[in-house]
A and B are shown apart, each in its own frame.
Chain A
Amino acid sequence: MTAQRLSWLLVLPLTLVLALFLVLPLLTIVVVSFWDYNEWSFFPAFILGNYEYVLTSNVTWATYLKTLKFTLLTWGFCTVIGFTVAYFLAFHVRSLTWQIALFMLCTIPFWTSNIIRMISWIPFLGRNGIANSMLLDMGVIDAPLEWLLFSDFAVVLAFIHLYALFMVVPIFNTMMRIDKSLIEAARDGGASGFQVLTNVILPLTKPGVMIGSIFVVTLVMGDFITVRFMSGGQSASVGRIISNEIALLQYPAAAANAVVLLAAVILMIAIMLRFVDIRKEL
Chain B
Amino acid sequence: MEPRSRSFYLLAAFFGCFVLFLYGPIITIGILSFQGPGGGLTFPMNGVSLHWFYNLFEQQAVGDFWGSFRRSLILGLMVMVTTVALSMMGGLAFRNRFAGANLLFYLVISSLVIPSILISLGVGLIFNIVDWEVHWSTSGFGAQLTWTLPFGILIMFAVFNRFDKAYEEAARDLGASWWQTIRHVVLPIIAPSLIGVALFGFTLSYDEFARTLLTSGSRNTLPLEIFGMTTNVTTPVLYALGTLTTVFSLLIILTFLCVAYWLRRRSQRHGSDAGQGMI
Q: A-side interface residues toward B, CB under 8 Å?
A: 3-4, 6-8, 10-11, 13-15, 17-18, 20-26, 28-29, 32, 81, 84-85, 87-89, 92, 94, 102, 104-106, 108-109, 111-117, 119-124, 126, 128-130, 133, 161, 164-165, 193, 214-215, 218, 221-225, 229, 239, 242-243, 246, 251, 254-255, 258, 261-262, 265, 269, 278-279, 282
Contacts and interface: CB of A to CB of B under 8 A. Distances in A.
B14 interface: yes
A89 B125 CA distance: 45
A14 B157 CA distance: 14
Contact of B242 (A92, A120, A128): A120
Contact of B15 (A21, A85, A122): A85
Contacts of A124: 24-25, 28
**Which 6 interchain pairs have the tightest Cβ spacing?**
A222-B115, A25-B122, A120-B25, A10-B93, A7-B98, A111-B203
Nearest to B224: A115
B117 to A, nearest CB: 5
Contact of A254 (B8, B121, B227): B121
A164 B20 CA distance: 13
Nearest to A1: B178
B158 A282 contact: yes
Interface of B: 1, 5, 7-8, 11-12, 14-15, 18-19, 21-26, 28-29, 32, 41-43, 85-87, 89-90, 92-94, 96-101, 104-105, 107-111, 113-119, 121-126, 128-129, 142-143, 145-146, 149, 153-154, 157-158, 161, 178, 199-200, 203-204, 206-207, 209-210, 213-214, 223, 226-227, 230, 238-239, 242, 245-246, 249-250, 252-253, 257
Contacts of A242: 117, 121
User: Which of A18, A102, A133, A243 has its CB near the most chain B CB atoms (within 10 A)?
Assistant: A18
A87 to B, nearest CB: 7
A174 B87 CA distance: 23
Given A25-B118, A106-B22, A114-B209, A120 B108 contact: no
Given A108-B250, A222-B210, 18 more contacts: A7-B98, A14-B86, A17-B149, A23-B107, A25-B122, A84-B15, A92-B12, A109-B26, A111-B252, A113-B246, A116-B26, A116-B242, A123-B32, A126-B41, A164-B18, A223-B115, A225-B227, A258-B115
B90 A251 contact: no
Contacts of B145: 17, 21
Contacts of B115: 218, 221-223, 239, 258, 261-262, 265
